Structure 1
Amino acid sequence: MSPRKQSSQELTREMIIHEARTKFVEEGFHQVSMRSIAKELDCSHGAIYYHFKNKAELFYVVLQEYFLELNGIIDEVVINREENCTKLYKLFISFIEFGLNNQSQYESMFMLRNSEIDVLSQEAANFSYQKFAQAVQTLSNNTLLIKDIYAVFISLHGFVVFYRGYATCFEEVKDAAYAHVDFLIKSLSSEKISRSNL
């Protein structure tokens, strides 16, 4: 006799989120369906809809966890009792490390484009970016322009994207990461070249 399928009352949000997180990492957002999650949980897909109205809402809940982790890393660097220049260096390295050690998650956070989730994910991404930008401004010895901070973020993002798939983790490209961050730190501290002089 086959085991009884779980009812919506027995099935918790936490169980669904845990299973969905695993499947999204392994297969990606587009390949996962509510039915496939239900199959892994041995329940009807209707039981999942009791907790989440659609796949996009479930994905966003999972996505929020990733952003909370990244936000926590930023906060941890900022409150550390070190010199600001050291903390700024660690902030940049930590961003790259997070991206390369969590490649599927990073792709979902900053690279996935889907009309169902864009509005929700963009809100979480913007909040993390604002936290990052505020940390950079606070830790920098110079008053930075918004475009300077954004350029740094894009440069760090570009590094992660370039090595994503090529390297399986941060450790494999840490020398290149340190060299990249050295360059960014020097760029922020050097005098800006006026466009009119070019």
Structure 2
Amino acid sequence: MSPRKPSTKDLTKEMIINEAHKQFITKDFHQVSMRSIAKEVGCSHGAIYYHFKNKAEIFYAILGDYFSELNNTLDETVNGPGDNNTKLLNVFVGYMAFGLNNQSQYELMFMMRDSEVDGLSQEAANLSYQKFAQSVQFLSKTELLLSDIHSTFIALHGFVAHYRHYVKNYEEVKEAVDVHAKFLVKALI
């Protein structure tokens, strides 16, 4: 006897998102389909449309969770204990640690380009960057140029991009992360 497929009532957004998340990390965006998600969840692909209008909407829900996690890390650092220079250092370390500990997610957030989802993912990335820029400016002792903040962000992004797929996580390059973060703080103050 084959296992019962979940009905539309049994099927939850969380089930769909969890399966889609697995597939987006292991496959290219275009290799994932509503049918492939449905097959793994054990329902008809039509049942997924009850919760999401298309694959891009599922992808955006996943990205939203990633950006929330990154933004929460930023908020916790800025509002946490310590002087502003220490917090600024921790913002930079936290950003690189997030990227290195979540390499597949980071790629989806900042490195994947696809016309089907670019508008949605760029909006989330831009909002996250604005939060980063405001936090850096808030923690700085002086008024920074927007170009300085942007260059700092690109330096952090470049660090993560350079080490992705060469290390498993942040711990493997912790010393290099600390050196890079200190260099960036020194450049800004």
Q: TM-score range by the shorter chain?
A: over 0.9
User: 1:14: Cα distance to partner?
Assistant: 1.4
Q: Supply the AA of the counterpart residue of 2:22.
A: T
User: 1:81: Cα distance to partner?
Assistant: 2.1
1:183 aligned onto 2:180: no
Which residue does 2:64 correspond to in 1?
64
Q: Supply the AA of the counterpart residue of 1:148.
A: D
Which residue does 2:95 correspond to in 1?
95
For residues 67-119 of structure 1, the C-alpha deviation after alignment (integer angstroms, 9 at most, x for no partner) is 00000000000111210000000000000000000000000000000001001
Whole-Å separation in 1 of the counterparts to 2:25 and 2:82 = 35
User: 1:29: Cα distance to partner?
Assistant: 2.4
Whole-Å separation in 2 of the counterparts to 1:76 and 1:89 = 13
Which residue does 1:196 correspond to in 2?
none
Q: Supply the AA of the counterpart residue of 1:154.
A: I
Whole-Å separation in 2 of the counterparts to 1:123 and 1:35 = 27
Which residue does 2:81 correspond to in 1?
81
For residues 2-34 of structure 1, the C-alpha deviation after alignment (integer angstroms, 9 at most, x for no partner) is 122222222111111122122222334233221
Which residue does 2:15 correspond to in 1?
15
Which residue does 2:105 correspond to in 1?
105
Which residue does 2:26 correspond to in 1?
26
- Higher-Rg structure is 1
Q: Supply the AA of the counterpart residue of 2:143.
A: T
Whole-Å separation in 2 of the counterparts to 1:173 and 1:28 = 27
Q: Normalising by the residue count of structure 1, what TM-score does the alignment of the two structures yield?
A: 0.92
Query: What is the alpha-carbon root mean square deviation over aligned residues?
Result: 1.0
Which residue does 1:125 correspond to in 2?
125
| Structure 1 runs (4+) greater than 3 angstroms displaced | none
Whole-Å separation in 1 of the counterparts to 2:90 and 2:38 = 41
Structure 1, 159-168 or 5-14: larger mean CA deviation: 5-14
Structure 2 unmatched runs, 5+: none
Q: Normalising by the residue count of structure 2, what TM-score does the alignment of the two structures yield?
A: 0.97
Structure 1 unmatched runs, 5+: 190-198
Q: Secondary structure at the match of 1:72?
A: helix
Taking only the aligned residue pairs, the percentage that are identical comes to 62
Whole-Å separation in 2 of the counterparts to 1:100 and 1:43 = 34
For residues 9-66 of structure 1, the C-alpha deviation after alignment (integer angstroms, 9 at most, x for no partner) is 2211111112212222233423322111111111111111111111111000011000
Whole-Å separation in 2 of the counterparts to 1:2 and 1:72 = 43
